[in-house]
Amino acid sequence: MAEMSVRYTYRVRPSRTAEGLLLAEWNRDRWVWNECVARSRALRLAGEMCGPARLDKDLTQARQANEW
């Protein structure tokens, strides 16, 4: 029997309020990503190892320092 492939397409139409909240969340996500990239690069240039555990620790500290 041949394997059947099904493809679905969804469209999200958030309200203006929901769109604003989503954009604010994505901006915070982008900030966290950029911080992790910058931190990782700085540590590598300093000759230190930087992996997920180190970045997780830094993220925990950032959560305490910032009100999100």
41 near 60, Cβ under 8 Å?
A: no
Residue 6 has pLDDT above 70, yes or no: yes
62 near 35, Cβ under 8 Å?
A: yes
Q: What pTM did the predictor assign?
A: 0.65
In the chain, the amino acid numbered 59 is L
Extents of the domains making up the chain = 16-62
What tens digit of pLDDT does each residue of 10-22 get?
A: 998 999 999 999 9
Which pLDDT score, from 0 to 100, does residue 58 have? 83
